Structure 1
Amino acid sequence: MKNQWDKDVQNDRIVGYLPNLNNIEVNRIMKLMEQDSPGKFIIYTLSKYKDILLNLGFSLESKLSGFFHGDEALIFTKYHQKDRLLSKTAKENKEVLSIVKGDTKEPCEMTHGFQIELVKDVELEELARLFQTVFPIYPTNIFDPDYLQKVKDSEEYMFMVAKDDNGIIGAASAMNTGYQSAEITDCAVHPDYRGKNLLNAIVMAIEKELVKKRIYHSFSLTRAKSVGMNMTVKRLNYRYEGTLINNCIISTGFEDMNIWTKKLKG
């Protein structure tokens, strides 16, 4: 398995996906900590490398089942800024999880009259407008149709949309990690169409496409203070595995993100 790095300037973080934590990568980590001092340093790796990262001053923040070709990823973090380490919504996060975990409902069927399908190239400008309507700020450049075209063409992302006679009114994507796992992300429903269980249908359609591509592990990072999104993935049988503190910029600034995972049936 290959190692990957992402220097995410917009979210003031460096992320390393390191299934092979060798001496070269350990030296790289030490240099990056000295040179860049990002607000948050994140390493995804295997459990056998736990002691190496603890000795480098990292802390185990969460885990993610199935991330590395079916093997669990441990997520280690190190903060260079004290305020980035402290959750602004810790109490609210716990209340949301309590509500969500106490829910016993199954996913509701979507109201009829909507079409769920993979987005077409000619629809990317319309998709960007939906994202602009739903999100005031976002950690990736999904407001730009050219960016959407670029990631779609790379096959790194797969965009699924819900449509009616008015056009695209809901969407979500799957980001291929390169490790036979995928992140369900970019979940958006137009305000006029909420409460119709569109996201349930969109995510289930994405899962079917992932299985066709022989990807059997999916996960979602949901805003920790959002009852709606956490409830959506919980009802779709995703399992909560931890919270990433001040992980990325969404809506009001840096926010905590909950990790939910699922093993897909082939």
Structure 2
Amino acid sequence: MDLIEKLGHSLVHHGEFNNRIFLLKYDEKDRNNITDQLNKLAETNGYTKIIAKVPAAAQPVFLKDGFTQEAFIPSFYQGEQDVFFMSKFLSDERKKAPSSALDTLTDLLAQPQNNNGAVLAKEFKLTLLSPKEAPQMSELFGKVFETYPFPVTQPEYIRETMQEETVIYFGIWHNQKLVGISSAEVDPKNKNAEMTDFAVLPEYRGHRLAYFLLQKMEEYLTEQKYQTVYTIARLNSPGMNKTFINHGYRFSGVLTNNTNISGQIESMNVYYKKLMKNG
């Protein structure tokens, strides 16, 4: 599994699994040498992509080094400064856009929102999840995803993220069986959260469980005064994209050939939504 570690004062996620470096948190102290460090790390390991999530004020640092913008999220930091996803491709194969999937996305984005006053069926129960349920959660993740960018099939990893209070998990139950999961990866300081880790057992698809999980997470985060929420959704999952579109999320770009999920490197779509105005 890929590593999360410091690079200078910044934080990166990198390894052979995704065959890339993801600059998760940029530190202004690294401004003068961050791109050199990223390039060196990529060259040493033979990675074929570098992606950096950086505040607007740092974008010129990456443009100067040949990075291009793939997506953005406005009002990301404390409801004010924007964030940009800046990428550099280190192989021709890695930067090839999946044209047929992009055609499907174009069709999806042209469709109107469809909420239809949906209500979760009475036989299902939606709750916050706790560390004691980590074994059931990891088992469900393992049934849904052949591969995943983070070790969610390991109960200890799930417990660790809960204890660190960096991830809040939500679940849907049917007859005391966990059948659907999602999570909010929260940044309390900057009042933003990533809506992620959506997993529904195949036999329970068609009940719009992801839709209701997302709805519940938004309600919870609004109560906690979070301002901006976003997701990085699989381009190859039209249903998941439609869930976010139906909830009023705005599309802002495609991260081409970005993430190892369900057994292959896939492109990911960025969507965002403003929950509340600053202040």
TM-score, normalised to structure 2's length?
Answer: 0.87
Where 1:132 maps in the other structure, the secondary structure is: helix
Q: Pick from 201, 215, 219: which aligns with 2:212?
A: 201
The 2-side partners of 1:265 and 1:48 are apart by 23
Partner of 2:123: 113
Q: Pick from 197, 202, 211: which aligns with 1:191?
A: 202
Conserved 8 A contact 2:172-2:209: yes
Q: Pick from 45, 48, 53: which aligns with 2:54?
A: 45
The 2-side partners of 1:7 and 1:106 are apart by 36
Q: How many residues align?
A: 262
The 1-side partners of 2:269 and 2:12 are apart by 20
Partner of 1:95: 104
The 1-side partners of 2:261 and 2:24 are apart by 22
Q: Pick from 149, 159, 168: which aligns with 2:159?
A: 149
Tell me by how many angstroms 1:18 deviates: 5.4
Quote the RMSD (CA, aligned, Å): 2.0
Partner of 1:239: 250
Partner of 2:179: 169
Percentage identity across paired residues of the two chains:
24
Partner of 1:26: 32
Partner of 2:19: 12
Tell me by how many angstroms 1:20 deviates: 5.3
Tell me by how many angstroms 1:100 deviates: 4.2
Q: Pick from 69, 78, 102: which aligns with 1:69?
A: 78
Where 1:84 maps in the other structure, the secondary structure is: coil
Tell me by how many angstroms 1:166 deviates: 4.0
Conserved 8 A contact 1:40-1:84: yes
Where 1:82 maps in the other structure, the secondary structure is: coil
Q: Pick from 116, 119, 124: which aligns with 2:134?
A: 124
Evaluate the alpha carbon distance shift between residue 109 and residue 133 of structure 1 in structure 2; reply closer, same or farther with a 3 A threshold. Answer: same
AA matched with 2:164: S
Conserved 8 A contact 2:128-2:171: yes
Unaligned runs of 5+ in 2: 1-8
Deviates more, 1:107-116 or 1:236-245: 107-116
Conserved 8 A contact 2:42-2:48: no
Partner of 2:227: 216
Partner of 2:89: 79
Unaligned runs of 5+ in 1: none
Where 1:83 maps in the other structure, the secondary structure is: coil
TM-score, normalised to structure 1's length?
Answer: 0.91
